[in-house]
């Protein structure tokens, strides 16, 4: 679209504090600036085992700040857990929330903030239902994975396990006030988490760059994130002690979060959300598996932009025309996935899918109201089924769910 015909706004409300050991050096100072005394630390059992929340709690205690740790957050946080967290927050008279962890911890923390400041149930506030209108408690975020970007977005995703659906709650109120992006906290990440969350960040950047809501501002953020991830994700995966590579990937994840927070994500997310909600596929892994197939579908919508991405991965494509360069992107991404030991499809789940199961997935993907409208190519149900047919193992040899 011509810039003279575009109208957009680009607020980035989160103060991003980046640096190795930035949590140790700056967290208590910022909490005191906000005059907070009783912190609700939201995290997950894995991080408790790694000792990170306890270190933060000790740091706060040394500086006269009381805190409690809520560590029951599961992957793709449940609505039930959100409601329980809000009750604990109120019972303990907390006055701010500190999210420590990956996307699940940040989604949970934002949702708890909504429930502390609004009546009813968290699912009452999903997209298309009641708006989030009140200020939520002061929220700081400390991301410990290298992928979600949730520390700078105004979105939270909550899973309703009874319905097997992921629901989105969106409001400017949900943006954390401060995000501490501290690469030293990611050193203990298992290798497979580096791969899946790093690819999640790459998907965020690619989908924001090609979204129908993209602007010159989101394009600049997205392209920078893609470049950083292309150069540094593989070395970061190869060795956890490569602190420079890990730092680059960690910051790239935040930059990609800024890009998609403004520009949105598309069909990769539409298809991956039901895979996580129903079959518990890790979000970043599902995104990585689906990405090449969605790009193949979307290519005709914008050869130029997909060619720009391909040229980051393979600079010699500068000498090819846009269509040729764009078509090479699929193989380049398959190779990148392979280097990270990402499976080519969902066979690893050990499930044989039936037509009815695919119908359910397609229905939920098409109903993903926050993603489908942003996709650069208009999506119809048959498109979604075709993509699922390429990534799901079927119940009879070679039979797909057309």
What mean pLDDT comes out for the span 330-351? Answer: 97
- 168 forms bridges with which residues in the sheet? 157
The C-alpha atoms of residue 190 and residue 332 are separated, in whole angstroms, by 25
User: Both tokens of residue 29?
Assistant: 């100072």
Give one DSSP letter per residue of 330-356, joined into a string: HHHHHHHHHHTT--SSGGGG---B-HH
Region(s) of the chain under CATH 1.20.1090.10: 191-391
What mean pLDDT comes out for the span 187-194? Answer: 92
What local confidence, expressed as pLDDT, does residue 11 receive? 87
The C-alpha atoms of residue 139 and residue 115 are separated, in whole angstroms, by 13
Q: What is the CATH number of domain 15-186?
A: 3.40.50.1970
Give one DSSP letter per residue of 245-293, joined into a string: HHHHHHHHHHHHHHHHHHH---HHHHHHHHHHHHH---HHHHHHHHHHH
What mean pLDDT comes out for the span 345-374? Answer: 95
Does the structure show a pLDDT above 80 at 140? yes
What mean pLDDT comes out for the span 197-204? Answer: 97
The C-alpha atoms of residue 193 and residue 189 are separated, in whole angstroms, by 6
The C-alpha atoms of residue 291 and residue 337 are separated, in whole angstroms, by 10
The CA-based diameter of the chain, rounded to the nearest angstrom, is: 64
Q: What is the CATH number of domain 191-391?
A: 1.20.1090.10
> What pLDDT digit, counting tens, does each position of 92-128 carry?
999 999 999 999 999 999 999 999 999 999 999 998 8
What local confidence, expressed as pLDDT, does residue 397 receive? 46
Give the residue from 362, 150, 173, 359 showing the smallest Cα distance to 256: 150
Does the structure show a pLDDT above 80 at 401? no
Region(s) of the chain under CATH 3.40.50.1970: 15-186
Does the structure show a pLDDT above 60 at 189? yes
The C-alpha atoms of residue 279 and residue 268 are separated, in whole angstroms, by 16
What local confidence, expressed as pLDDT, does residue 9 receive? 85
Q: What is the pTM of this model?
A: 0.94
Does the structure show a pLDDT above 60 at 17? yes
3-state secondary structure of 328: helix
pLDDT band at 166, cuts 50/70/90? confident
Q: Do residues 199 and 147 lie in contact, with contact meaning Cβ atoms separated by under 8 Å?
A: yes
What local confidence, expressed as pLDDT, does residue 147 receive? 85
Give the residue from 200, 222, 199 showing the smallest Cα distance to 210: 222
What local confidence, expressed as pLDDT, does residue 224 receive? 98
């Amino acid at each position: 679209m011509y810039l003279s015909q575009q109208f957009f706004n680009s607020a980035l409300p989160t103060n991003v504090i980046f640096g190795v050991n930035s949590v140790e050096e700056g967290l208590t100072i910022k909490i005191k600036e906000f005059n907070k005394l009783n912190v609700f630390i939201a995290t997950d059992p894995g991080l408790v085992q790694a000792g990170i929340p306890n270190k933060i709690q000790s740091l706060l205690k040394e500086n006269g700040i009381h805190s409690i740790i809520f560590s029951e957050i599961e992957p793709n946080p449940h609505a039930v857990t959100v409601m329980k967290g809000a009750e604990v927050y109120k019972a303990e008279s907390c006055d701010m929330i500190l999210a420590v962890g990956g996307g699940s911890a940040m989604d949970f923390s934002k949702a708890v903030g909504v429930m502390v400041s609004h009546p009813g149930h968290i699912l009452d506030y999903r997209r298309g239902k009641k708006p989030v209108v009140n200020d939520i408690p002061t929220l700081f975020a400390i991301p410990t994975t290298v992928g979600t970007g949730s520390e700078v977005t105004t979105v939270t995703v909550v899973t309703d396990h009874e319905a097997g659906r992921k629901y989105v709650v969106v409001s400017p109120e949900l943006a954390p006030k401060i995000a501490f992006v501290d690469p030293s906290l990611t050193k203990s990440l298992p290798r497979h988490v580096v791969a899946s969350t790093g690819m999640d960040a790459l998907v965020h950047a690619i989908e924001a760059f090609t979204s129908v809501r993209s602007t010159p501002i989101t394009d600049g953020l997205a392209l920078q994130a893609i470049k950083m991830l292309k150069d540094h994700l593989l070395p970061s995966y190869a060795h956890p002690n490569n602190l420079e590579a890990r730092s680059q990937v960690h910051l790239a994840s935040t930059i990609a979060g800024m890009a998609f927070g403004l520009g949105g994500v598309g069909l990769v997310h539409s298809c991956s959300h039901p895979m996580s909600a129903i079959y518990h596929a890790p979000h970043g892994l599902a995104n990585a598996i689906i990405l090449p197939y969605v790009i193949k579908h979307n290519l005709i919508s914008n050869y130029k932009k997909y060619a720009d991405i391909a040229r980051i991965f393979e600079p010699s494509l500068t000498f090819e025309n846009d269509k040729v360069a764009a078509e090479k992107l699929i193989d380049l991404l398959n190779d990148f996935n392979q280097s990270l030991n990402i499976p080519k499809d969902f066979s690893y789940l050990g499930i044989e899918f039936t037509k009815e199961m695919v119908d359910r997935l397609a229905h939920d993907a098409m109903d993903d109201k926050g993603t489908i409208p942003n996709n650069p190519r208009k999506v119809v149900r048959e498109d979604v089924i075709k993509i699922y047919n390429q990534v799901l193992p079927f119940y009879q040899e070679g039979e797909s769910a057309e």
